[in-house]
Structure formats: C-alpha cells, structure tokens
C-alpha cells in the first residue's frame, strides 16, 4: 500500500473521529441521552447510533467501494465477509466506553480502523473528553496528539499496572475472577478503565504495562495497531482456533510491554488451567 494513500486515509479518519467526538460531547451536554439495551444487556445510547451514522455515511460518500464493519449498524458483516481483510474494510466502534459515557465519565473513545492487504493499516482512537487523539499508520511511529509514543519497557511484574475489563454477559465470570486474583496478587495493581480502546492506547504510551480481555474486533482493531507500532507485543494467552479470522480474533487478547508479555501470558494461562 502506498504511504501517501495511507496518510490520506489517516487524515480522513482522524477528521471523522474528531467530528464524531464533537457530536457525542454535544449530545451529552444536551442531556437527552436515550438509553436502550441490546439482547445481552449491552447498553446503547442515542449518541452511539448518531455517531455511527455520521461515520458510516461519510465513509460511504468518500469510499463507496469499501466494506464497513461497525458495532452499531453492521455487527454481523465480519461473518458475511468471512473475516477477510484482503480488500478495504473499515472497522468502527462509534463509542467505546458507553457505560462511562452514560455515567458522565471521561474515558470514552471513538475507534476507527482501516484494513486492507490482510492487515489493519491505519488506526485512530480519539478521546474527546480527554482531548487525546492516538493514531497509527502501519510502518510508522504511533502518535498521541502528534507526538511519538512508546511502551513502558517495565521489567518487573511486581511494579506493573495492568488493565482489563469484564463482559456485559455475567453468566461465566468465574474464570475471569481467577485471573483477576492472580494478577492482583502478582502485579502492582489493576485498572478497569471502561474502554478497551483506551486501555490498549494506554499500554502503547506507558500509562499501563499490560492489558488483557476478550473483545469484539471494533474494540481493539485500531488500538492494537497503535500499540504494535509503539513497541507492544500483541497476541493471545490461549490457543487461536484454525478457523479464526486472521487479525481480528478477540478471545483472550494480551497486549503488553514485550519484557512482561511471557510472564503475563503464563500467569493468565495458569488461571485458565485452574478454571476447569
Ligand atoms: C466495551 C468497553 C469495555 C470492555 C467491554 C466492551 P462498549 O465496549 O470497551 O471496556 O470491557 O468488553 O464491550 O460497549 O463501551 O463499546
Ligand atoms: Ca466497544
Ligand atoms: Ca461501542
């Protein structure tokens, strides 16, 4: 992929994320948040839908041939497209951190990824309430507000601050609690920020030393590229099924500073082994 094309896409996606950020800030200031729940108790507000419409409409206008995988308007299109990233596809979470958003917290992000040639090529995570915009173009430094960022390179698990999250569906929490206990016992502390995209960007810039969770593609597609290009090691602490869609498989994700990755993976696996 030509550098100039990706740069152009990155500028377009950043502009779009900023516009969506203004929209969701305005919606919250108006205090007219209509809240509903999806079938699995997942919260969705009017602002999620409006931001999704804004982003997908503009992508369709500028790139009519590209596919879109968006949490709110086309959550099934990954299956329909058999998870292929070999032709242009946009992967969007219009609001990552909806529960924070609805409770008036600031940890809220708009996540926009662009994939082609089998990989995510551009990732933008914009945090409108915090005034922080993370961006990555494959092959280049990751940036926050235009400045290069890098992982912490922390070496001691004891001093490591680890992020994680919990699913909306609370029917099988036991394995997660086991992992949590091991992490709390062996690391400095744990953070549950409430936006996986922000968690991963915080690993990218060293505010966190590692992050693990099971996620949907739109939660991590953009942030994972940002973390990768900032020096993080990105993978899974459990085996990946052969049929998994390459690059967007979200089970048991682990993203960490490379010095701690193996130890964290081992710790998390040992909790999983004991869970059975
Ligand atoms: C959620 C957030 C949260 C994570 C959940 C996600 P949403 O996304 O990223 O931090 O723990 O797994 O579903 O619903 O706010 O877009
Ligand atoms: Ca999300
Ligand atoms: Ca969302």
Question: Any idea what the CATH number is for the domain that residue 49 is in?
Answer: 3.30.540.10
Q: How many CA atoms lie within 13 A of 91 on its CB side?
A: 30
Query: Which pLDDT belongs to residue 40?
Result: 62
- The number of the ligand 1 atom at minimal distance from the alpha carbon of 193 is 10
Q: Would strands 143-144 and 147-148 be described as parallel, antiparallel, or unpaired?
A: antiparallel
Domain residue limits at 209: 157-275
Quote the CA–CA distance of 22 and 16 in Å, as a whole number: 10
* 194 ligand 1 Cβ < 6 A: yes
* 108 ligand 1 Cβ < 6 A: no
Q: What is the mean pLDDT of residues 96-101?
A: 96
pLDDT in tens, 8-23: 999 999 999 999 999 9
pLDDT in tens, 111-162: 999 999 989 999 999 999 999 999 999 999 999 999 999 999 999 999 999 9
Quote the CA–CA distance of 174 and 5 in Å, as a whole number: 46
Whose Cα sits closest to atom 15 in ligand 1?
A: 97
Per-residue confidence band for 3, with pLDDT thresholds at 50, 70 and 90: confident
* 110 ligand 1 Cβ < 6 A: no
- The number of the ligand 1 atom at minimal distance from the alpha carbon of 195 is 10
128 with 167, same domain: the answer is: no
User: What CATH number is associated with residue 174?
Assistant: 3.40.190.80
Spatial CB neighbours of 261, under 8 Å, sequence gap ≥ 6: 210, 233, 235, 254
168 with 144, same domain: the answer is: no
- Report the percent of the chain where pLDDT is more than 90: 78
Total number of domains constituting the chain: 2
**Among the three residues 121, 148, 175, which one is the final residue of a domain in this structure?**
148
Quote the CA–CA distance of 108 and 196 in Å, as a whole number: 10
Query: Which pLDDT belongs to residue 275?
Result: 47
61 with 181, same domain: the answer is: no
204 with 227, same domain: the answer is: yes
Spatial CB neighbours of 24, under 8 Å, sequence gap ≥ 6: 47, 50, 51, 94, 95, 101, 108, 110, 128
132 with 109, same domain: the answer is: yes
Query: Which pLDDT belongs to residue 200?
Result: 99
* 94 ligand 1 Cβ < 6 A: no
The structure's pTM equals 0.95
**Among the three residues 148, 174, 205, which one is the final residue of a domain in this structure?**
148
């Amino acid at each position: 992929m030509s550098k100039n094309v990706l740069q152009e896409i990155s500028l377009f996606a950043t502009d779009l994320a900023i516009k969506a950020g203004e929209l969701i800030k305005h919606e919250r200031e108006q205090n007219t948040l209509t809240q509903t729940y999806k079938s699995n108790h997942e919260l969705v507000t009017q602002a999620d839908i409006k931001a999704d419409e804004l982003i997908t409409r503009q992508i369709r206008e500028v790139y009519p041939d590209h596919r879109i995988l968006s949490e709110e308007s086309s959550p099934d299109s990954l299956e329909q497209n058999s998870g292929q990233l070999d032709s242009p596809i946009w992967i969007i979470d219009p609001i990552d951190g909806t529960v924070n958003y609805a409770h008036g917290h600031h940890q809220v992000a708009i996540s926009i990824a662009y994939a082609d040639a089998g990989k995510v090529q551009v990732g933008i995570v914009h945090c409108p309430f915090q005034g922080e915009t993370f961006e990555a173009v494959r092959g280049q430094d990751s940036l926050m507000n235009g400045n290069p960022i890098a992982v912490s390179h922390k070496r001691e698990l004891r001093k490591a601050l680890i992020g994680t999250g919990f699913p909306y569906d609370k029917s099988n929490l036991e394995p997660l609690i086991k992992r949590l206990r091991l992490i709390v016992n062996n690391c400095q502390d744990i953070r549950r920020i409430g936006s996986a995209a922000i968690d991963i960007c915080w690993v990218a810039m060293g505010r966190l030393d590692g992050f693990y969770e099971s996620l949907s593609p739109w939660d991590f597609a953009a942030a994972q590229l940002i973390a990768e290009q900032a020096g993080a090691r990105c993978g899974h602490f459990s085996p990946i099924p052969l049929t998994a869609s390459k690059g967007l498989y979200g089970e048991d994700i682990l993203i960490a500073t490379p010095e701690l990755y193996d130890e964290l993976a081992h710790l998390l696996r040992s909790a999983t082994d004991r869970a059975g």
